[in-house]
Amino acid sequence: MNKKNGYMNPYLAGVLLGFVLLTTIYITGRGLGASGAMKSVAVSAVKAAAPEHYSNTPYYRSYAADHPQGPMKSWLVFEMLGVLVGAFFSGTLSGRIGLKLEKGPGVTNVGRLAGAIAGGFLFGFGSQLGRGCTSGSALSGMAVMSYGGIVTMVAIFGGAYAFAWFFRKMWISR
């Protein structure tokens, strides 16, 4: 643990994440993924809010056929609940629980929140187009040496580095 900021050594955290991923693949036969859990929540919300639409839409019918016990019984939903509980537990132990808006000197509070919300929606939309989020496509894909997983990881980090160059002055002190 880094005494200065309360964070775990990133190299140790990466190795531990790798062990968690390999254990998950060994036990379940598939890797980690957050977007599948979010899809289960969204499908459940549609079923509760508009049951007729849910019943008449081919996509939801095929999703229901793949999840006969219901979308919220997917192990991915329980995985994400564990991530949330674990994150809360970790934050509590390290004294980092609280609301805090981190931003650079060139960014307003409204701009930061708007950017975070827009980025979240774009990332969620992109994860559905790409058939998975970073944990599903990139980490789990690379763990099994999937060409698609490797390309996804290169695209994510390459895109992030290229995009960050254009916005670096918003985050760097003047």
- Stronger pLDDT, 61 or 3, i.e. the higher one: 61
Tokens 């609940």 found at: 81
Q: What is the sign of the dihedral through the CA atoms of 139, 142, 79 and 122?
A: positive
Q: Mind listing the pLDDT tens digit for each residue in 105-163?
A: 878 899 989 989 998 888 888 877 777 777 777 888 888 888 888 888 888 888 888 88
- Give start and end residues of each alpha helix (H) in 29-146: 35-49, 51-56, 58-66, 75-93, 109-129, 140-143
Highest mean pLDDT among 6-15, 75-84, 109-118: 109-118
pLDDT at residue 2 is higher than 60: no
What pLDDT shows up at residue 4? 67
Percent of the chain at pLDDT > 90 equals 14
Average pLDDT of 71-93?
A: 86
Q: Residue 28 corresponds to which amino acid?
A: T
What pLDDT shows up at residue 134? 75
What pLDDT shows up at residue 38? 82
pLDDT at residue 92 is higher than 60: yes
What pLDDT shows up at residue 150? 87
Could you give the CA distance from residue 40 to residue 26 in angstroms, rounded to a whole number?
Answer: 23
**Confidence at 3, pLDDT banded by 50, 70, 90:** low
Reference 18, options 1, 36, 32, 3; nearest CA is 32
Percent of the chain at pLDDT > 70 equals 94
Q: Residue 91 corresponds to which amino acid?
A: G
